[in-house]
Amino acid sequence: MATEKITLSAWEVINDQLWLVWSDGQEGSITLKALREACPCANCAGESDVFGNIYKGISLPKTDASYRLVRLDRVGRYGLQPRWGDGHDAGIFTDEHLYALSVSTA
């Protein structure tokens, strides 16, 4: 029996929180700071080679602008892409990643 995939139904940014509603009826939230710190892009989280070695980009110091959400776009039917005040916009958070972050911290 196949299980139904949980997807993001709605989201809203209120102050410094991203509030999420899921297709299974659960709701959750993530602080914008925690969202930025969990960025899954290759520069922030790293990427691995065929041997499992993880390579990350140069870690730049974060400022207040780094945690200011400028825009949040839906990417296909599978994730959200935040655009931050410091220009960073490379991370795409899949619905599964957002669900894990929001439900575990709710």
Is residue 1 assigned to a domain? no
pLDDT at 55: 85
| pLDDT value of residue 7 | 93
* Per-residue pLDDT, 63: 95
Tell me which residue has tokens 């029996």: 1
> Is residue 105 scored above 60 in pLDDT?
no
CATH number reported for the structural domain that contains residue 20 in this entry = 3.30.2020.30
pLDDT bin (cut points 50, 70, 90) of residue 106 is very low
3-state helix, strand, coil in the chain (%, to 5): 25, 35, 40
Question: Can you give the pLDDT at residue 56?
Answer: 84
Task: Write out the residue range of the structural domain in which residue 60 sits.
Answer: 8-105
- How many structural domains compose the chain? 1
What tens digit of pLDDT does each residue of 31-79 get?
999 999 999 999 999 888 899 888 888 888 999 999 999 999 999 999 9
Residue among 34, 11, 35 at smallest CA distance from 21: 11
- In this prediction, residue 54 carries a pLDDT of 87
- DSSP-derived letter for residue 95 is H
Q: How many CA atoms lie within 13 A of 24 on its CB side?
A: 11
The verdict on residue 3 lying in a domain is no
pTM of the predicted protein model: 0.87
For residue 48, being part of any structural domain is answered with yes
